[in-house]
A and B are shown apart, each in its own frame.
Chain A
Amino acid sequence: MSRLLRLAGRPAVWVSGAFLLVLGALPYSAGLFGALFPDLPRPLYSRASFLDLALSHAALVGIATLVVVGVGIGVGIFVTRPVGRDFAGPIDTLTAVGQTFPPTAVLALAVPAMGYGGAPTVMALIVYGLLPVVSATIAGLNAVPRAPMQAADGIGLSPGGRLLKVELPLAAPVILSGVRTSVVLNIGTATIGSTVGALTLGSPIIEGLSGSNPAYVIQGAVLVGLFAVAADLWLDELERALT
Protein backbone atom coordinates (compact mmCIF):
# COMPACT_ATOMS: atom_id res chain seq x y z
CA MET A 1 0.00 0.00 0.00
CA SER A 2 2.73 2.42 1.02
CA ARG A 3 4.56 1.29 -2.11
CA LEU A 4 1.58 2.27 -4.22
CA LEU A 5 1.40 5.61 -2.46
CA ARG A 6 5.07 6.26 -3.07
CA LEU A 7 4.59 5.32 -6.70
CA ALA A 8 1.76 7.84 -6.97
CA GLY A 9 4.29 10.61 -6.39
CA ARG A 10 6.46 9.46 -9.28
CA PRO A 11 6.80 11.48 -12.49
CA ALA A 12 6.25 8.26 -14.44
CA VAL A 13 2.72 8.07 -13.07
CA TRP A 14 2.03 11.72 -13.81
CA VAL A 15 3.32 11.63 -17.36
CA SER A 16 1.43 8.40 -18.16
CA GLY A 17 -1.65 10.01 -16.68
CA ALA A 18 -1.16 13.04 -18.89
CA PHE A 19 -0.72 10.78 -21.94
CA LEU A 20 -3.95 8.90 -21.23
CA LEU A 21 -5.77 12.16 -20.50
CA VAL A 22 -4.70 13.72 -23.79
CA LEU A 23 -5.52 10.50 -25.64
CA GLY A 24 -9.01 10.46 -24.12
CA ALA A 25 -9.66 14.17 -24.57
CA LEU A 26 -8.39 14.65 -28.14
CA PRO A 27 -11.52 13.29 -29.85
CA TYR A 28 -13.47 16.10 -28.13
CA SER A 29 -11.00 18.88 -28.94
CA ALA A 30 -12.29 19.88 -32.39
CA GLY A 31 -13.54 23.13 -30.91
CA LEU A 32 -10.21 23.95 -29.30
CA PHE A 33 -8.18 23.33 -32.48
CA GLY A 34 -10.83 25.14 -34.54
CA ALA A 35 -10.29 28.19 -32.37
CA LEU A 36 -6.51 27.87 -32.53
CA PHE A 37 -6.43 27.36 -36.30
CA PRO A 38 -9.54 29.14 -37.65
CA ASP A 39 -8.33 28.81 -41.27
CA LEU A 40 -8.33 25.02 -41.26
CA PRO A 41 -11.48 23.37 -42.62
CA ARG A 42 -10.88 20.16 -40.62
CA PRO A 43 -8.82 20.99 -37.52
CA LEU A 44 -9.01 17.51 -35.88
CA TYR A 45 -7.36 14.41 -37.38
CA SER A 46 -10.10 11.90 -38.10
CA ARG A 47 -8.80 9.31 -40.58
CA ALA A 48 -8.32 6.90 -37.64
CA SER A 49 -9.10 7.16 -33.97
CA PHE A 50 -6.25 8.34 -31.76
CA LEU A 51 -6.71 5.24 -29.62
CA ASP A 52 -6.18 2.98 -32.65
CA LEU A 53 -3.11 4.98 -33.64
CA ALA A 54 -1.65 4.70 -30.15
CA LEU A 55 -2.36 0.97 -29.86
CA SER A 56 -0.89 0.24 -33.27
CA HIS A 57 2.14 2.43 -32.51
CA ALA A 58 2.70 0.65 -29.21
CA ALA A 59 2.31 -2.76 -30.86
CA LEU A 60 4.89 -1.98 -33.56
CA VAL A 61 7.40 -0.70 -30.99
CA GLY A 62 6.56 -3.59 -28.66
CA ILE A 63 7.14 -6.28 -31.28
CA ALA A 64 10.38 -4.63 -32.41
CA THR A 65 11.52 -4.31 -28.79
CA LEU A 66 10.89 -7.99 -28.08
CA VAL A 67 13.08 -8.93 -31.02
CA VAL A 68 15.67 -6.29 -30.18
CA VAL A 69 15.90 -7.42 -26.55
CA GLY A 70 16.08 -11.11 -27.48
CA VAL A 71 18.58 -10.70 -30.30
CA GLY A 72 20.51 -7.83 -28.72
CA ILE A 73 21.07 -9.51 -25.36
CA GLY A 74 21.75 -12.81 -27.11
CA VAL A 75 24.39 -11.25 -29.34
CA GLY A 76 25.89 -9.37 -26.38
CA ILE A 77 26.15 -12.62 -24.42
CA PHE A 78 27.62 -14.47 -27.39
CA VAL A 79 30.46 -12.05 -28.06
CA THR A 80 31.44 -11.95 -24.38
CA ARG A 81 31.80 -15.76 -24.18
CA PRO A 82 35.11 -17.45 -25.03
CA VAL A 83 33.58 -18.96 -28.21
CA GLY A 84 32.28 -15.64 -29.50
CA ARG A 85 35.07 -13.30 -28.50
CA ASP A 86 36.46 -13.18 -32.05
CA PHE A 87 33.13 -11.82 -33.25
CA ALA A 88 33.09 -8.88 -30.86
CA GLY A 89 34.77 -6.51 -33.33
CA PRO A 90 32.70 -7.33 -36.42
CA ILE A 91 29.43 -7.32 -34.44
CA ASP A 92 30.30 -3.97 -32.97
CA THR A 93 30.88 -2.55 -36.45
CA LEU A 94 27.72 -4.14 -37.80
CA THR A 95 25.41 -2.74 -35.13
CA ALA A 96 27.06 0.68 -35.41
CA VAL A 97 26.43 0.66 -39.17
CA GLY A 98 22.84 -0.38 -38.45
CA GLN A 99 22.46 2.78 -36.45
CA THR A 100 24.08 5.18 -38.88
CA PHE A 101 21.88 3.76 -41.61
CA PRO A 102 18.91 6.15 -41.79
CA PRO A 103 15.66 4.38 -40.86
CA THR A 104 14.00 5.81 -43.95
CA ALA A 105 16.57 4.01 -46.06
CA VAL A 106 15.77 0.74 -44.28
CA LEU A 107 12.10 1.39 -45.08
CA ALA A 108 12.88 2.08 -48.71
CA LEU A 109 14.81 -1.17 -48.96
CA ALA A 110 12.30 -3.22 -46.97
CA VAL A 111 9.13 -2.20 -48.76
CA PRO A 112 9.90 -3.97 -52.06
CA ALA A 113 10.57 -7.18 -50.14
CA MET A 114 7.91 -6.96 -47.44
CA GLY A 115 5.24 -4.76 -48.91
CA TYR A 116 3.64 -1.73 -47.27
CA GLY A 117 2.47 -1.47 -43.66
CA GLY A 118 3.71 -2.69 -40.31
CA ALA A 119 6.26 -5.30 -41.42
CA PRO A 120 8.87 -2.96 -42.96
CA THR A 121 8.36 -0.56 -40.04
CA VAL A 122 9.13 -3.25 -37.48
CA MET A 123 12.15 -4.22 -39.61
CA ALA A 124 13.48 -0.66 -39.53
CA LEU A 125 12.91 -0.39 -35.78
CA ILE A 126 14.79 -3.62 -35.17
CA VAL A 127 17.80 -2.53 -37.21
CA TYR A 128 17.78 0.86 -35.57
CA GLY A 129 17.17 -0.29 -32.00
CA LEU A 130 19.72 -3.09 -31.85
CA LEU A 131 22.88 -1.04 -31.25
CA PRO A 132 22.01 0.38 -27.82
CA VAL A 133 20.99 -3.03 -26.49
CA VAL A 134 23.98 -4.91 -27.92
CA SER A 135 26.50 -2.38 -26.69
CA ALA A 136 24.84 -2.06 -23.27
CA THR A 137 24.82 -5.83 -22.87
CA ILE A 138 28.51 -6.04 -23.77
CA ALA A 139 29.39 -3.13 -21.49
CA GLY A 140 27.30 -4.52 -18.64
CA LEU A 141 28.74 -8.02 -18.86
CA ASN A 142 32.30 -6.71 -19.17
CA ALA A 143 31.80 -4.54 -16.10
CA VAL A 144 30.86 -7.41 -13.79
CA PRO A 145 33.57 -7.38 -11.09
CA ARG A 146 36.21 -10.08 -11.41
CA ALA A 147 36.08 -11.39 -7.84
CA PRO A 148 32.50 -12.75 -7.86
CA MET A 149 33.12 -14.22 -11.31
CA GLN A 150 36.20 -16.06 -10.06
CA ALA A 151 34.33 -17.14 -6.96
CA ALA A 152 31.47 -18.43 -9.11
CA ASP A 153 33.87 -20.55 -11.15
CA GLY A 154 35.82 -21.57 -8.09
CA ILE A 155 32.91 -22.94 -6.10
CA GLY A 156 31.59 -24.84 -9.08
CA LEU A 157 28.94 -22.88 -10.91
CA SER A 158 28.73 -24.08 -14.51
CA PRO A 159 29.43 -21.42 -17.18
CA GLY A 160 25.68 -21.20 -17.85
CA GLY A 161 24.90 -21.02 -14.16
CA ARG A 162 27.43 -18.26 -13.71
CA LEU A 163 25.88 -16.31 -16.59
CA LEU A 164 22.32 -16.65 -15.31
CA LYS A 165 22.90 -16.35 -11.59
CA VAL A 166 25.79 -13.92 -11.39
CA GLU A 167 26.64 -12.10 -14.62
CA LEU A 168 23.20 -11.20 -15.97
CA PRO A 169 21.77 -10.05 -12.61
CA LEU A 170 24.82 -7.88 -12.01
CA ALA A 171 24.74 -6.50 -15.55
CA ALA A 172 20.96 -6.03 -15.55
CA PRO A 173 20.86 -2.29 -14.72
CA VAL A 174 23.28 -1.46 -17.54
CA ILE A 175 21.47 -3.73 -20.00
CA LEU A 176 18.16 -2.17 -19.05
CA SER A 177 19.51 1.32 -19.67
CA GLY A 178 20.35 0.15 -23.21
CA VAL A 179 16.81 -1.20 -23.64
CA ARG A 180 15.49 2.12 -22.42
CA THR A 181 17.52 4.06 -24.97
CA SER A 182 16.36 1.69 -27.70
CA VAL A 183 12.68 1.90 -26.76
CA VAL A 184 12.63 5.68 -26.50
CA LEU A 185 14.52 6.03 -29.77
CA ASN A 186 12.08 3.70 -31.49
CA ILE A 187 8.94 5.33 -30.15
CA GLY A 188 10.12 8.39 -32.06
CA THR A 189 11.38 6.48 -35.08
CA ALA A 190 8.15 4.49 -35.46
CA THR A 191 6.37 7.66 -36.64
CA ILE A 192 8.06 7.42 -40.04
CA GLY A 193 6.37 4.04 -40.49
CA SER A 194 3.32 6.03 -41.50
CA THR A 195 5.13 6.99 -44.73
CA VAL A 196 4.86 3.35 -45.80
CA GLY A 197 1.32 2.87 -44.63
CA ALA A 198 1.74 1.66 -41.05
CA LEU A 199 -0.75 3.02 -38.57
CA THR A 200 1.18 5.05 -35.98
CA LEU A 201 0.97 8.27 -34.04
CA GLY A 202 3.10 9.60 -36.89
CA SER A 203 0.13 9.35 -39.26
CA PRO A 204 -1.35 12.76 -38.23
CA ILE A 205 2.16 14.25 -38.33
CA ILE A 206 2.93 13.00 -41.83
CA GLU A 207 -0.48 13.97 -43.14
CA GLY A 208 -0.27 17.33 -41.42
CA LEU A 209 3.12 18.02 -43.00
CA SER A 210 2.09 17.03 -46.50
CA GLY A 211 -1.31 18.72 -46.24
CA SER A 212 -0.12 21.91 -44.48
CA ASN A 213 -2.21 21.15 -41.43
CA PRO A 214 -0.22 22.21 -38.37
CA ALA A 215 -3.06 21.10 -36.05
CA TYR A 216 -2.57 17.46 -37.10
CA VAL A 217 1.17 17.79 -36.51
CA ILE A 218 0.61 19.09 -33.00
CA GLN A 219 -1.92 16.36 -32.18
CA GLY A 220 0.47 13.60 -33.28
CA ALA A 221 3.59 15.17 -31.82
CA VAL A 222 2.11 15.76 -28.35
CA LEU A 223 1.00 12.12 -28.11
CA VAL A 224 4.33 10.74 -29.37
CA GLY A 225 6.24 13.00 -27.00
CA LEU A 226 4.20 12.03 -23.94
CA PHE A 227 4.39 8.36 -24.93
CA ALA A 228 8.18 8.47 -25.24
CA VAL A 229 8.68 10.35 -21.97
CA ALA A 230 6.31 8.01 -20.10
CA ALA A 231 8.10 4.91 -21.42
CA ASP A 232 11.44 6.46 -20.51
CA LEU A 233 10.33 7.20 -16.96
CA TRP A 234 8.85 3.73 -16.42
CA LEU A 235 12.00 2.01 -17.63
CA ASP A 236 13.95 4.32 -15.36
CA GLU A 237 11.80 3.15 -12.44
CA LEU A 238 12.50 -0.45 -13.37
CA GLU A 239 16.22 0.24 -13.66
CA ARG A 240 16.23 1.79 -10.21
CA ALA A 241 14.31 -1.13 -8.76
CA LEU A 242 17.08 -3.42 -10.05
CA THR A 243 19.98 -1.54 -8.48
Chain B
Amino acid sequence: MIVLDRLTKRFGTTLAVDNLSLTVPNGSICALVGASGCGKSTTLRLINRLSEPDGGHVLIDGTDAASLAPVALRRRIGYVIQSIGLFPHWSIARNIGTVPELLGWPAHRVAQRVDELLDLVGLDPARYRSRRPHELSGGQQQRVGVARALAADPDLLLMDEPFGALDPVTRDGLQGALLDIQARTRKTVVIVTHDIDEAIRLASLIAVLDGGRLIQQGSPHELLARPANAFVEAFVGGPRRGLRLLQVTPVGERTRYGMGAEGVPIDAGATLDVALERMVTGNIDRIPVLDRATGRSGALSLTDIVAPDGALR
Protein backbone atom coordinates (compact mmCIF):
# COMPACT_ATOMS: atom_id res chain seq x y z
CA MET B 1 0.00 0.00 0.00
CA ILE B 2 1.20 3.47 -0.83
CA VAL B 3 0.02 6.32 1.31
CA LEU B 4 0.81 9.91 0.41
CA ASP B 5 0.25 12.02 3.45
CA ARG B 6 -0.04 15.80 2.97
CA LEU B 7 2.84 15.71 0.52
CA THR B 8 4.29 19.05 -0.54
CA LYS B 9 7.10 19.83 -2.95
CA ARG B 10 8.31 23.28 -3.90
CA PHE B 11 10.65 24.34 -6.70
CA GLY B 12 11.58 27.92 -5.90
CA THR B 13 8.23 29.65 -5.82
CA THR B 14 6.38 26.92 -7.76
CA LEU B 15 4.33 24.55 -5.67
CA ALA B 16 4.76 21.43 -7.78
CA VAL B 17 2.87 19.26 -5.28
CA ASP B 18 0.58 20.94 -2.79
CA ASN B 19 -0.58 19.13 0.33
CA LEU B 20 -1.44 15.97 -1.57
CA SER B 21 -2.98 13.04 0.28
CA LEU B 22 -3.80 9.83 -1.52
CA THR B 23 -4.02 6.15 -0.63
CA VAL B 24 -3.31 3.46 -3.19
CA PRO B 25 -4.38 0.06 -1.79
CA ASN B 26 -2.23 -2.99 -2.45
CA GLY B 27 -3.01 -4.71 -5.71
CA SER B 28 -4.73 -1.74 -7.28
CA ILE B 29 -3.91 0.59 -10.13
CA CYS B 30 -4.08 4.30 -9.50
CA ALA B 31 -3.94 6.76 -12.41
CA LEU B 32 -2.68 10.30 -11.92
CA VAL B 33 -4.20 12.60 -14.49
CA GLY B 34 -4.11 16.33 -15.02
CA ALA B 35 -2.82 19.03 -17.31
CA SER B 36 0.85 19.32 -18.21
CA GLY B 37 2.88 20.70 -15.30
CA CYS B 38 0.33 19.82 -12.61
CA GLY B 39 2.84 17.75 -10.63
CA LYS B 40 2.25 14.17 -11.77
CA SER B 41 5.88 13.25 -12.46
CA THR B 42 7.01 15.06 -9.32
CA THR B 43 4.56 12.98 -7.28
CA LEU B 44 6.01 9.75 -8.69
CA ARG B 45 9.53 10.97 -7.98
CA LEU B 46 8.59 11.66 -4.39
CA ILE B 47 7.41 8.08 -3.99
CA ASN B 48 10.76 6.52 -4.96
CA ARG B 49 12.72 9.34 -3.33
CA LEU B 50 14.27 10.70 -6.48
CA SER B 51 13.01 13.90 -4.95
CA GLU B 52 12.59 14.71 -1.26
CA PRO B 53 9.36 16.34 -0.08
CA ASP B 54 9.32 19.76 1.58
CA GLY B 55 6.45 18.55 3.71
CA GLY B 56 4.46 15.41 4.39
CA HIS B 57 5.30 11.74 4.11
CA VAL B 58 5.25 8.79 1.78
CA LEU B 59 4.35 5.54 3.50
CA ILE B 60 5.09 2.29 1.73
CA ASP B 61 3.37 -0.66 3.39
CA GLY B 62 3.24 1.43 6.52
CA THR B 63 6.92 2.41 6.58
CA ASP B 64 7.96 6.01 6.04
CA ALA B 65 9.95 6.02 2.79
CA ALA B 66 12.23 8.66 4.31
CA SER B 67 13.53 5.99 6.71
CA LEU B 68 14.41 3.54 3.91
CA ALA B 69 17.71 3.52 2.01
CA PRO B 70 16.90 5.16 -1.35
CA VAL B 71 18.91 2.76 -3.52
CA ALA B 72 17.41 -0.38 -1.99
CA LEU B 73 13.95 1.19 -2.10
CA ARG B 74 14.25 1.96 -5.82
CA ARG B 75 15.44 -1.54 -6.64
CA ARG B 76 12.17 -2.94 -5.38
CA ILE B 77 10.04 -0.35 -7.20
CA GLY B 78 9.72 -0.66 -10.96
CA TYR B 79 10.00 2.76 -12.58
CA VAL B 80 9.20 3.81 -16.11
CA ILE B 81 10.49 7.34 -16.67
CA GLN B 82 8.67 9.80 -18.90
CA SER B 83 11.68 10.35 -21.15
CA ILE B 84 12.32 6.57 -21.45
CA GLY B 85 16.05 6.96 -20.68
CA LEU B 86 17.51 3.73 -21.99
CA PHE B 87 21.27 3.40 -21.53
CA PRO B 88 22.53 4.18 -25.04
CA HIS B 89 25.80 2.25 -24.71
CA TRP B 90 24.17 -1.03 -23.69
CA SER B 91 22.31 -3.69 -25.63
CA ILE B 92 18.55 -3.98 -25.19
CA ALA B 93 19.11 -7.17 -23.19
CA ARG B 94 21.49 -5.48 -20.78
CA ASN B 95 19.15 -2.52 -20.43
CA ILE B 96 16.28 -4.77 -19.44
CA GLY B 97 18.43 -6.96 -17.21
CA THR B 98 19.97 -4.13 -15.21
CA VAL B 99 17.96 -4.47 -12.02
CA PRO B 100 17.97 -8.29 -11.85
CA GLU B 101 21.73 -8.09 -12.36
CA LEU B 102 22.03 -5.53 -9.56
CA LEU B 103 20.00 -7.87 -7.37
CA GLY B 104 22.49 -10.64 -8.09
CA TRP B 105 20.39 -12.95 -10.23
CA PRO B 106 22.46 -15.63 -12.01
CA ALA B 107 23.20 -14.75 -15.65
CA HIS B 108 21.08 -17.50 -17.22
CA ARG B 109 18.05 -16.43 -15.22
CA VAL B 110 18.55 -12.80 -16.25
CA ALA B 111 18.81 -13.85 -19.92
CA GLN B 112 15.68 -15.96 -19.64
CA ARG B 113 13.78 -13.11 -17.96
CA VAL B 114 14.91 -10.66 -20.65
CA ASP B 115 13.52 -12.87 -23.43
CA GLU B 116 10.30 -13.39 -21.51
CA LEU B 117 9.83 -9.63 -21.17
CA LEU B 118 10.71 -8.88 -24.79
CA ASP B 119 8.00 -11.35 -25.76
CA LEU B 120 5.60 -9.71 -23.35
CA VAL B 121 6.08 -6.25 -24.85
CA GLY B 122 5.83 -7.63 -28.35
CA LEU B 123 9.46 -7.48 -29.48
CA ASP B 124 11.00 -10.62 -30.95
CA PRO B 125 13.88 -11.51 -28.58
CA ALA B 126 16.06 -13.02 -31.30
CA ARG B 127 15.78 -9.86 -33.33
CA TYR B 128 16.05 -7.21 -30.67
CA ARG B 129 17.99 -8.47 -27.67
CA SER B 130 21.43 -7.54 -28.94
CA ARG B 131 20.51 -4.26 -30.60
CA ARG B 132 21.41 -0.86 -29.20
CA PRO B 133 18.64 1.58 -28.21
CA HIS B 134 19.33 3.91 -31.15
CA GLU B 135 18.48 1.05 -33.51
CA LEU B 136 14.89 1.01 -32.20
CA SER B 137 11.95 3.26 -32.97
CA GLY B 138 10.60 5.56 -30.26
CA GLY B 139 7.71 3.24 -29.51
CA GLN B 140 9.98 0.19 -29.39
CA GLN B 141 12.30 2.01 -26.99
CA GLN B 142 9.34 2.85 -24.82
CA ARG B 143 8.38 -0.81 -24.67
CA VAL B 144 11.92 -1.69 -23.62
CA GLY B 145 11.57 0.92 -20.87
CA VAL B 146 8.43 -0.84 -19.63
CA ALA B 147 10.19 -4.22 -19.79
CA ARG B 148 13.09 -2.82 -17.76
CA ALA B 149 10.70 -1.65 -15.06
CA LEU B 150 9.05 -5.07 -14.86
CA ALA B 151 12.33 -7.02 -14.95
CA ALA B 152 12.79 -7.86 -11.29
CA ASP B 153 9.06 -8.45 -10.82
CA PRO B 154 8.60 -5.60 -8.32
CA ASP B 155 5.48 -5.39 -6.17
CA LEU B 156 5.31 -1.66 -6.78
CA LEU B 157 5.31 -0.08 -10.17
CA LEU B 158 5.56 3.62 -11.00
CA MET B 159 4.86 4.36 -14.63
CA ASP B 160 5.21 7.84 -16.09
CA GLU B 161 3.28 7.91 -19.36
CA PRO B 162 4.51 4.42 -20.25
CA PHE B 163 2.49 3.99 -23.43
CA GLY B 164 2.49 7.56 -24.76
CA ALA B 165 4.54 6.87 -27.89
CA LEU B 166 2.68 3.74 -28.98
CA ASP B 167 0.22 3.22 -31.80
CA PRO B 168 -3.35 2.40 -30.64
CA VAL B 169 -3.08 -1.32 -31.36
CA THR B 170 0.23 -1.83 -29.54
CA ARG B 171 -0.98 0.38 -26.70
CA ASP B 172 -4.12 -1.67 -26.39
CA GLY B 173 -2.04 -4.85 -26.27
CA LEU B 174 0.28 -3.52 -23.58
CA GLN B 175 -2.60 -2.19 -21.50
CA GLY B 176 -4.07 -5.68 -21.65
CA ALA B 177 -0.72 -7.19 -20.68
CA LEU B 178 -0.44 -4.82 -17.72
CA LEU B 179 -3.96 -5.74 -16.55
CA ASP B 180 -3.06 -9.44 -16.88
CA ILE B 181 0.13 -9.09 -14.88
CA GLN B 182 -1.61 -7.04 -12.28
CA ALA B 183 -4.44 -9.54 -11.96
CA ARG B 184 -1.97 -12.42 -11.64
CA THR B 185 0.58 -10.86 -9.31
CA ARG B 186 -1.48 -8.16 -7.57
CA LYS B 187 1.02 -5.41 -8.15
CA THR B 188 0.38 -1.95 -6.84
CA VAL B 189 0.69 0.46 -9.72
CA VAL B 190 0.74 4.24 -9.97
CA ILE B 191 0.50 5.31 -13.58
CA VAL B 192 0.63 8.81 -15.02
CA THR B 193 -1.28 9.29 -18.22
CA HIS B 194 -2.69 12.00 -20.44
CA ASP B 195 -5.04 9.52 -22.03
CA ILE B 196 -8.22 9.52 -20.01
CA ASP B 197 -9.49 6.40 -21.77
CA GLU B 198 -6.33 4.63 -20.66
CA ALA B 199 -6.94 5.76 -17.09
CA ILE B 200 -10.54 4.57 -17.27
CA ARG B 201 -9.53 1.20 -18.65
CA LEU B 202 -6.64 0.47 -16.29
CA ALA B 203 -7.30 2.20 -13.03
CA SER B 204 -9.57 1.38 -10.16
CA LEU B 205 -8.67 4.75 -8.68
CA ILE B 206 -8.18 7.97 -10.63
CA ALA B 207 -6.68 11.06 -9.01
CA VAL B 208 -7.17 14.35 -10.82
CA LEU B 209 -4.49 16.94 -10.09
CA ASP B 210 -4.43 20.62 -10.87
CA GLY B 211 -1.61 22.95 -9.90
CA GLY B 212 -0.16 20.32 -7.55
CA ARG B 213 -3.44 19.85 -5.69
CA LEU B 214 -5.64 16.81 -5.64
CA ILE B 215 -8.97 17.97 -7.04
CA GLN B 216 -10.85 14.69 -6.90
CA GLN B 217 -10.15 11.02 -6.45
CA GLY B 218 -12.42 8.09 -7.01
CA SER B 219 -13.29 5.20 -9.25
CA PRO B 220 -13.64 5.98 -12.95
CA HIS B 221 -17.40 5.62 -12.54
CA GLU B 222 -17.52 8.04 -9.62
CA LEU B 223 -15.51 10.66 -11.49
CA LEU B 224 -17.64 10.39 -14.59
CA ALA B 225 -20.97 10.24 -12.82
CA ARG B 226 -20.26 12.79 -10.12
CA PRO B 227 -17.38 15.08 -11.11
CA ALA B 228 -16.53 17.41 -8.21
CA ASN B 229 -16.43 20.48 -10.42
CA ALA B 230 -16.39 21.74 -13.98
CA PHE B 231 -12.65 21.13 -14.27
CA VAL B 232 -12.95 17.43 -13.49
CA GLU B 233 -16.03 17.15 -15.66
CA ALA B 234 -14.20 18.67 -18.62
CA PHE B 235 -11.04 16.72 -17.91
CA VAL B 236 -12.38 13.22 -17.47
CA GLY B 237 -15.56 13.54 -19.48
CA GLY B 238 -15.40 16.30 -21.98
CA PRO B 239 -17.80 15.84 -24.85
CA ARG B 240 -17.62 12.06 -24.45
CA ARG B 241 -18.63 11.85 -20.80
CA GLY B 242 -21.86 9.92 -21.45
CA LEU B 243 -20.12 7.44 -23.71
CA ARG B 244 -17.32 6.93 -21.21
CA LEU B 245 -19.86 6.31 -18.50
CA LEU B 246 -21.13 3.42 -20.59
CA GLN B 247 -17.56 2.08 -20.64
CA VAL B 248 -17.47 1.83 -16.86
CA THR B 249 -21.00 0.59 -16.15
CA PRO B 250 -21.54 -3.20 -16.11
CA VAL B 251 -24.42 -4.62 -18.11
CA GLY B 252 -25.59 -6.51 -15.01
CA GLU B 253 -26.55 -3.23 -13.33
CA ARG B 254 -29.24 -2.49 -15.92
CA THR B 255 -30.33 -6.02 -16.76
CA ARG B 256 -33.96 -7.01 -16.29
CA TYR B 257 -33.50 -10.52 -14.93
CA GLY B 258 -36.18 -13.04 -15.84
CA MET B 259 -36.96 -11.38 -19.14
CA GLY B 260 -35.84 -13.01 -22.37
CA ALA B 261 -34.43 -12.01 -25.74
CA GLU B 262 -33.26 -13.62 -28.96
CA GLY B 263 -29.61 -14.17 -29.81
CA VAL B 264 -26.25 -14.92 -28.24
CA PRO B 265 -26.25 -13.62 -24.66
CA ILE B 266 -23.81 -10.95 -23.48
CA ASP B 267 -21.98 -11.43 -20.19
CA ALA B 268 -23.41 -9.45 -17.29
CA GLY B 269 -19.86 -8.33 -16.45
CA ALA B 270 -19.37 -6.70 -19.86
CA THR B 271 -19.82 -2.95 -20.00
CA LEU B 272 -22.71 -1.03 -21.50
CA ASP B 273 -20.68 0.32 -24.41
CA VAL B 274 -20.14 -3.26 -25.61
CA ALA B 275 -23.87 -3.96 -25.33
CA LEU B 276 -24.71 -0.77 -27.22
CA GLU B 277 -22.23 -1.68 -29.90
CA ARG B 278 -23.88 -5.12 -30.28
CA MET B 279 -27.30 -3.52 -30.63
CA VAL B 280 -26.19 -0.97 -33.20
CA THR B 281 -24.25 -3.40 -35.37
CA GLY B 282 -26.89 -6.17 -34.95
CA ASN B 283 -29.72 -3.75 -35.68
CA ILE B 284 -31.64 -4.87 -32.58
CA ASP B 285 -32.91 -2.99 -29.52
CA ARG B 286 -32.77 -5.82 -27.05
CA ILE B 287 -30.17 -8.46 -26.22
CA PRO B 288 -30.08 -11.43 -23.84
CA VAL B 289 -27.81 -11.28 -20.79
CA LEU B 290 -26.19 -14.13 -18.90
CA ASP B 291 -24.60 -13.75 -15.49
CA ARG B 292 -21.99 -16.47 -15.62
CA ALA B 293 -21.27 -16.27 -11.92
CA THR B 294 -24.86 -16.98 -10.78
CA GLY B 295 -26.28 -18.57 -13.92
CA ARG B 296 -29.13 -16.05 -13.98
CA SER B 297 -30.28 -14.76 -17.32
CA GLY B 298 -32.21 -11.72 -18.41
CA ALA B 299 -32.39 -9.06 -21.08
CA LEU B 300 -31.14 -5.55 -21.72
CA SER B 301 -33.00 -3.19 -24.00
CA LEU B 302 -31.86 0.04 -25.58
CA THR B 303 -33.84 2.22 -23.16
CA ASP B 304 -32.22 0.46 -20.18
CA ILE B 305 -28.90 1.95 -21.24
CA VAL B 306 -30.23 5.31 -20.09
CA ALA B 307 -30.37 5.33 -16.31
CA PRO B 308 -33.93 4.64 -15.17
CA ASP B 309 -34.30 7.47 -12.63
CA GLY B 310 -33.12 10.17 -14.99
CA ALA B 311 -29.96 10.90 -12.98
CA LEU B 312 -26.54 10.39 -14.52
CA ARG B 313 -25.08 7.39 -12.84
Contact = CB atoms under 8 A, between A and B. Distances in A.
Interface of A: 145-158, 161, 165-166, 169-170
B163 interface: no
A155 B149 contact: yes
Interface stretch (B80-88, B165-173, B256-264, B283-291): B80-88
A149 B50 CA distance: 11
Given A146-B83, A147-B81, A156 B75 contact: yes
Contacts of B99: 155-156
Nearest to B87: A148
Contacts of A161: 102
B311 interface: no
Contacts, number: 59
Given A155-B148, A156-B72, A156-B75, A150 B81 contact: yes
B interface secondary structure, majority: mixed
A149 B89 CA distance: 13
Nearest to A151: B85
A172 to B, nearest CB: 9
A interface secondary structure, majority: helix
A146 B48 CA distance: 18
- A-B residue pairs, 7 tightest by C-beta: A151-B85, A147-B85, A156-B75, A156-B74, A147-B83, A154-B79, A148-B85
A166 B73 CA distance: 20
21 contacts: A145-B88, A147-B81, A147-B84, A148-B85, A148-B87, A150-B85, A151-B87, A151-B145, A153-B50, A154-B81, A155-B79, A155-B98, A155-B149, A156-B73, A156-B75, A156-B77, A157-B102, A165-B87, A166-B87, A169-B89, A170-B89
Choose among A151, A154, A170 the residue with the greatest number of B CB atoms under 10 Å from its CB.
A154
Contacts of A154: 48, 50, 74, 79, 81, 85
A152 B87 contact: yes
Interface of B: 48, 50, 71-77, 79, 81, 83-89, 98-99, 102, 145, 148-149
Contacts of B88: 145, 148, 170
A153 B83 CA distance: 14
Contacts of A148: 85-88
A161 B72 CA distance: 13
Contacts of B149: 155
B85 A156 contact: no
A155 B74 contact: yes
Contacts of A155: 74-75, 79, 98-99, 148-149
Contacts of B81: 147, 150-151, 154
Contacts of B86: 148, 151
B66 to A, nearest CB: 17
Nearest to B148: A155
B71 A158 contact: yes
B50 A150 contact: yes
Contacts of B102: 156-157, 161
A55 B76 CA distance: 55
A156 B145 CA distance: 14
A153 B99 CA distance: 11
Contacts of A169: 89
A153 B75 CA distance: 10
A118 to B, nearest CB: 39
A238 to B, nearest CB: 16
Contacts of B71: 156-158
Contacts of B73: 156
Given A152-B85, A157-B71, 15 more contacts: A147-B83, A148-B87, A149-B85, A151-B79, A151-B81, A151-B84, A151-B86, A151-B148, A154-B79, A155-B74, A155-B75, A155-B99, A155-B148, A157-B102, A169-B89
B83 A150 contact: yes
Contacts of B72: 156
Contacts of B148: 151, 155
A153 B79 CA distance: 10
Nearest to B151: A155
Contacts of A145: 88
B105 to A, nearest CB: 14
A154 B85 CA distance: 10
Contacts of B83: 146-147, 150
